[in-house]
Amino acid sequence: MATSTPAEATFLEWFKAAGGTVHPAVQLKEDCEGMGRGAIAGEDIEADTLLFSIPRNILLTTATASLQSLLPPDAWSSLGGWTPLILSMMREYLRTSTWTPYFALLPTRFDALMHWSPDELDELKGSNVLTKVGRDEADEEYEDTVKAFVKEHEDVFGNADEYTAELFHRMGSLVLSRSFHVDSKDENEDEEDSDDEDDEEEEREDVADVAMVPFADILNAKSGSDNARLFYEPATLNMMSTQRIPAGAQIFNTYADPPNSDLLRRYGHVDEFNDADLVEIGLETVVDLVGAAAGLSEEEREARAEWLLEVGVDDTYAIETDHKLPDELIMAIRTFLLDEADYAKAQKKESPPKPKVDPATAEWARKILDHRLSEYSTSIEDDEAALKQVDSAVLPLRKRMALIVRVGEKRILRAARDKLVAEFPATGAARAQKKEKKRAREGEAAGGKASSSSGKKTKVRQ
């Protein structure tokens, strides 16, 4: 296979010496569509072709790295989350190890959100992705746990000063963007799962199953463009083509078609057009808007929110590019519109209201969408105009990517609102105007009755 850099040549030599195989049509490319290093098809590749095979003995895990075996068991077990794997990677990186050629091929600079400045993150104000960056938590883990742990076990780690916050965040970003969930206990599964999935928090808890997989992690991810998939055998992991890949096309191994906000958070790139885009609305918005307007006390609002979680309603609702309101959002709105008697009945049945959109629910859904749009610091009109006018070569990359994320989310909110108003035209001002006309007619009718009755003579009882 063709390579373009000495680091790639060294990596491939190491990979093949360890027992790895690569199809001759698979070519590495240093920069693929702004996504960094990736792989392309040097010639047409048919579906169900073995692209490359990875021996399990070169996977980098807490079990294959040497750190765990060198530490006292109680010290190792005191570490949580991804920290055991990150520390293992830091130690292997800082010494000459089995994975030195692999580390030489990995990126050292990242555009993922973990590495953005506060001013750059401000460009994403309003997007729920800001709640998922995790920089503060990572900084806290490094300062409160990692520094002291490395210093305490300097006989194992070597010079503690080399274990910097920058290196900790770099290795953490590699785990976030490139690791796979490889459960060695389930040898009969057909397919490996990437850690780039919705189960990320659960997978973090079982770090023994998280693996860095050389070569597989070279493939980039792009929504709607998946053409390869990782399968495994007891001794190897095999990357297979899932469809025909024409010559020159990039090879993608994409899980779950992530939206732009997630692509940016994990990988540091976005798609100009992404059919998998979505925008999230939190339960707290329903609580604050609907619950307060319904006259519920803070304690009552919190109680209903807790009850929704107890009966299985999520606390985050994603609106996708079909612009359909999520059933759970509708259920949450209707729960806060229930009077005390109906809420008591729902509690007794342990079942929230059905996700049926009536005029009252539609009106509150519209208000929630309007509120969600107001949380961004710029208008959709300004963003769309900026997106049309900017030259990608002039606008800083991170600013442009934030703009694309904002526009995608706002378009979904606007379209969902338009769809709602079209289905329930009596919402908002039109509904209020209809009520006002009805009150006026009733007032006129009452006035007419009063004037007609005033001309009648009444008998007075003596």
Report, as an integer, the average pLDDT of 164-183.
Answer: 94
In the chain, the percentage of residues whose pLDDT exceeds 70 is 85
Report, as an integer, the average pLDDT of 410-422.
Answer: 97
What's the pLDDT band for 31 if we cut at 50, 70, 90? confident
Q: What is the pLDDT of residue 167?
A: 97
Strand, helix or coil at 334? helix
Q: What is the pLDDT of residue 410?
A: 98
Helices (H), 186-297: 200-205, 260-266, 283-286, 292-293
Pairing of strands 278-282, 316-320: antiparallel
Tens digit of each residue's pLDDT (9 = 90 or more) over 319-351: 999 999 999 999 999 999 999 999 999 999 999
- Give the residue carrying structure tokens 């001002």: 429
CB 105 within 8 A of CB 38: no
- Of 196, 237, 192, 197, give the one whose Cα is nearest residue 215: 237
d(CA 28, CA 218): 8
381 CB-contact burial (10 Å; exposed 0-12 / middle 13-18 / buried 19+) = exposed
Residue 186 reports pLDDT greater than 50: no
Residue 159 reports pLDDT greater than 70: yes
Q: CA–CA distance from 113 to each of 168, 173, 342, 385 (Å)? A: 15, 10, 45, 25
- Is 361 or 195 the better-scoring residue by pLDDT? 361
Element (H, E) at 210: strand 210-211
CB 222 within 8 A of CB 14: no
Report, as an integer, the average pLDDT of 455-462.
Answer: 36
Q: Which two tokens mark 242? A: 């899932």
Tens digit of each residue's pLDDT (9 = 90 or more) over 74-125: 999 999 999 999 999 999 999 989 999 999 999 999 999 999 999 999 999 9
Give the chain's domains with CATH numbers. 57-266 (3.90.1410.10), 278-423 (3.90.1420.10)
Residue 414 reports pLDDT greater than 90: yes
pTM for the full predicted model = 0.83
- Is 439 or 388 the better-scoring residue by pLDDT? 388
- Of 272, 275, 245, give the one whose Cα is nearest residue 258: 275
Instruction: Tell me what the pLDDT averaged over the chain comes to.
Output: 89
What's the pLDDT band for 393 if we cut at 50, 70, 90? low
Residue 365 reports pLDDT greater than 90: yes
Tens digit of each residue's pLDDT (9 = 90 or more) over 202-253: 444 578 899 999 999 999 988 888 999 999 889 999 999 999 999 999 999 9
d(CA 340, CA 349): 14
What's the pLDDT band for 194 if we cut at 50, 70, 90? low
Residue 396 reports pLDDT greater than 70: yes
Residue 438 reports pLDDT greater than 70: no
Report, as an integer, the average pLDDT of 288-313.
Answer: 96
What's the pLDDT band for 193 if we cut at 50, 70, 90? low
